[in-house]
Amino acid sequence: MAEGFTVLILAAGWGTRMHSSVPKVLHPVCGKPMVEWVIDAARAAGADQVVCITRPGDGVAEGLPDDVTIAEQTEGEGTGAAVLAARDHLTGDRPAVVLSGDHPLLAAKEIADLVETHEREGAVATMLTTESLDPAGYGRVVRGEDGSVERIVETKYTEGVPPEELAIREVNLGTYAFDPVELVGALDRVALENDELYLTGVVPILREQGGRIAAHVTDDPSGALGINDRSQLMEAEELAQRRILAEHARAGVTFQSPQTTRVEAGVEIGADTVIAPGCNFTGATRIGTGARVGPYVNTIDSAIGDGATVIQAYMVEAEVHDNATVGPYAYLRPGAIIREGAKIGTFVEVKNSDIGRGAKVPHLSYVGDAEVGDEANLGASTITANYDGRRKHRTKVGKRAKISVHTTLVAPVDVGEGAYTGAGSAITEDIPDGALGIARPRQENVEGYGKRVEEEQE
């Protein structure tokens, strides 16, 4: 890969075509803001300095990696004005690469190849172009008789563009390598068009000064895709998703239904894991090896261990450890830790609770703010009453304890190791190790009751 160049990322446009209060380049593609895709590609291509051009107070700079330099566009409109906002970084004789923050899927290799072409051809400017996109809205590349690039025709506002130029299929992708000093000199001479300073305006000026303008043509339409509106954002999302799934698949993950599976950028999945239809893995989700996940599992910043099985579940900041099983129909909320080999069954909600190794909560339960010991069993309809209307309280269930069906554990309460509860109990007092706690009215049988009712009806 090429080494030692500066990358400017233009990210200060208004993005009006998005109709959004969020700056365009912060819109996520597969969970990762567009501009971060571009930063990552620049780094992977070998950039040693990345300068991001933003507007004061637009929030784009927040959340970017610390090693990204910010330059604020405080004056002028247009891509040329954006580049001039970083003029202090446009020095020396190494190439300056200009990228658009709205081309999220540009591959690192395209950037490296562009720099390589630029240097090989001894060009003053080299632009990335393609013929494999619908050219509408892009700048068309007008080539001279000798085949070299003469100028770029902007077609965003199509009035006045001659039909033969509108017919051109080759478009400018807003990705360039420049000689930095020549670039600044030419930009200072570009005239405004539609009140904007177009970066593409430097092309005829550099050419007139005797510089060579090269083009590096790509046929990868996904990398080329520019995002100006949400229909293009949707296209980018699909293309990026394909790319992410293919990468996991090559590393050993089976997707039974790629069309219905969504995996965000940055999610980790181990080899030999099988993903059934209808899954959505988001944020910092990590899934281990040999796991079976789905159908219909949604995870947000959660972890699923090796060999675990999770079916029809919604997980938020929760951990399912190795060989544990979850679902169908489980809701694991923040702080739910399901330890090795434990089982969370059907219609079970767990929040801020540690479920010990091999413990079971198989049916219809709510476990909140609890610590459940290894191998304990919580029968159907076990409920922790963890909230007294003002504060949350903790419940502790000892190792191997057996909570019988329909038990309410009124916290704070402590059930000892190997202890039992009677079915239908509301447990308000601690139960010692090995003891049985029953807390329900005694049953009373009224003899002959049925007969008496019959006689009264006669």
**Residue 288 is a binding residue for ligand UD1 (CB under 6 A):** no
Which structure tokens are listed for 5?
């160049």
Sign of the torsion formed by the C-alpha atoms of 355, 361, 364 and 365:
negative
| Minimum CB distance to ligand UD1, residue 294 (Å) | 37
Which structure tokens are listed for 416?
């000892």
Respond yes or no: is residue 363 known to be catalytic. yes
- CA 186/CA 398 separation, integer angstroms: 76
Looking at residue 52, what DSSP letter applies? E
Residue number with CB closer to ligand UD1 (53 or 361): 53
Q: Which does 117 bind (CB under 5 to 8 A by kind): Ca ion, ligand UD1, none?
A: none
Q: Hunting for tokens 């090995």 — which residue is that?
A: 434
Residue number with CB closer to Ca ion (39 or 411): 39
Interface with ligand UD1 (CB under 6 A), residue total: 29
Q: Which does 428 bind (CB under 5 to 8 A by kind): Ca ion, ligand UD1, none?
A: none
Contact criterion met (CB below 8 Å) for 253 and 261: no
Instruction: List contacts with Ca ion (CB under 5 A).
Output: 102, 226, 228
Q: Which stretch binds ligand UD1 (CB under 6 A): 170-178, 264-272, 281-289, 422-430?
A: 170-178
Q: Which stretch binds ligand UD1 (CB under 6 A): 74-82, 204-212, 297-305, 449-457?
A: 74-82
What would the DSSP string read from start to end of 124-145?
SEEEEEESSS--TTSEEEEE-T
Neighbours of 63 (CB within 10 A): 10
Q: Which does 282 bind (CB under 5 to 8 A by kind): ligand UD1, Ca ion, none?
A: none
**Residue 71 is a binding residue for ligand UD1 (CB under 6 A):** no
Binds ligand UD1 by CB under 6 A, chosen from 31, 180, 226, 437: 226
Contact criterion met (CB below 8 Å) for 338 and 321: yes
- The answer to whether the bond into 23 is cis (omega within 30° of 0) is no
| Minimum CB distance to ligand UD1, residue 15 (Å) | 6
Cα dist. 400→196, 373, 424 in Å? 73, 7, 19
Q: Which stretch binds ligand UD1 (CB under 6 A): 78-86, 238-246, 272-280, 281-289?
A: 78-86
Question: 21-40: which residues touch ligand UD1 (CB under 6 A)?
Answer: 25
> Which residue's beta carbon is nearest to the bound Ca ion?
226
Element counts in the chain: helices (H) and strands (E): 9, 39
Residue number with CB closer to Ca ion (229 or 272): 229
**Residue 127 is a binding residue for ligand UD1 (CB under 6 A):** no
**Residue 64 is a binding residue for ligand UD1 (CB under 6 A):** no
Q: Which residues contact 363 (CB under 8 A, 6 or more apart)?
A: 345, 346, 347, 348, 379, 380, 381
Contact set with ligand UD1 (CB under 6 A): 10-13, 25, 53, 73, 77-79, 81-82, 100-102, 138-139, 152, 154, 156, 171-174, 198-200, 226, 228
Residues designated catalytic: 363
